[in-house]
Amino acid sequence: MSISPKLALLEEYALVARALSAPARLSLLEQLAQGERGVEALAEKTGLTIANCSQHLQQLRRAGLATSRRDGKAVIYRLTDAKTLQLMDLLRIVAERNLAQVERILRGLSGGEDAPEPVSRADLAARLAEGSVTVLDVRPADEYAAGHIPGALNATLAQLEQILPRLELDAEIVAYCRGPYCVYAHQAVATLRRHGLNARRLEGGLPEWREDGRPVLIDAE
């Protein structure tokens, strides 16, 4: 270690950034943002093989973005702290602001229609209190069960058409999903609007909502 301390520091910062530089790991972080999980569950959700998933998780741990603990024979990973979430968010913001490609993809998700501005979390909280809004959780049932906004309906994109009749035509619908890198809510809003419903996206997803200290309902098992 005869290199300059300055370079040594930059190497360490670069290590953190490199951990964020693979889509597979961003996908894992998105899952971890929702709550701690074992390796197998993460592999399942992200479509990675177990061994590959394990290696990516170890890189996240080495970079200080995630930590792990043992629970019986399973190893449970979770985000180190809220800074990791902030880092993911900032990454997304910079990309959305400055990369034309991202704008194009997001436009595609909204089905060509110009999507309305997202609803802020504070706004949603206020309107939930007065009951003037329907909240829709567009995630798989198991993730919904592990924690969701109180009063939210749950439906995946595939189930969306079926629950349309249950939605009131006049009430505004606010859809949310996993958070930083979620695309389900975008797609759900596009579908709902095509059916003439007044739908908007929540700013951020469940992890951000929880991070704000707002109530999260966990289903009993």
Catalytic residues: 177
Task: Kindly identify the residues of this chain, within the stretch 47-66, that bind a copy of itself according to CB under 8 A.
Answer: 63-65
Closest approach, Cβ 122 to DNA, in A, equals 37
Nearer to DNA, 24 or 91 (CB): 24
- Which stretches of the chain bind DNA, using CB under 7 A? 18, 21-22, 24-25, 38-40, 48-52, 54-59, 68, 70, 72-76
Closest CA to 143 of 59, 35, 8: 35
Choose one: 33-41, 79-87, 145-153, 190-198; the region binding a copy of itself (CB under 8 A): 79-87
Closest CA to 72 of 115, 39, 111: 39
Task: Kindly identify the residues of this chain, within the stretch 159-188, that bind a copy of itself according to CB under 8 A.
Answer: 181, 183
Judged by CB under 8 A, does residue 69 bind a copy of itself?
Answer: no
Q: How far apart are CA 177 and CA 203, in angstroms?
A: 10
Q: What are phi and psi of 3, to 5 degrees?
A: -70, 160
Q: What type of residue sits at position 192? A: L
Closest approach, Cβ 125 to a copy of itself, in A, equals 26
Selected binder of a copy of itself within 17, 50, 74, 217 (CB under 8 A): 17
Closest approach, Cβ 206 to a copy of itself, in A, equals 17
16 binds, among DNA, a copy of itself, none (CB under 5 to 8 A by kind): a copy of itself
Nearer to a copy of itself, 85 or 167 (CB): 85
| Cα–Cα distance list, 134 to 83, 131, 182, 195, 210 (Å) | 31, 8, 19, 16, 19
Residue 38 pairs in a beta bridge with 76
Q: How far apart are CA 155 and CA 50, in angstroms?
A: 28
Burial, 179: exposed, middle or buried (Cβ in 10 Å; 0-12, 13-18, 19+)? buried
Q: How far apart are CA 91 and CA 102, in angstroms?
A: 12
Selected binder of a copy of itself within 75, 91, 153, 164 (CB under 8 A): 91
Q: What type of residue sits at position 209? A: W
95 binds, among DNA, a copy of itself, none (CB under 5 to 8 A by kind): a copy of itself
In this structure, are residues 29 and 16 in contact, taking their beta carbons and an 8 Å threshold? no
Per CB under 8 A, residues contacting a copy of itself are: 5-18, 20-23, 26-27, 63-65, 80-81, 83-84, 86-88, 90-95, 97-99, 101-102, 105-106, 108-109, 181, 183
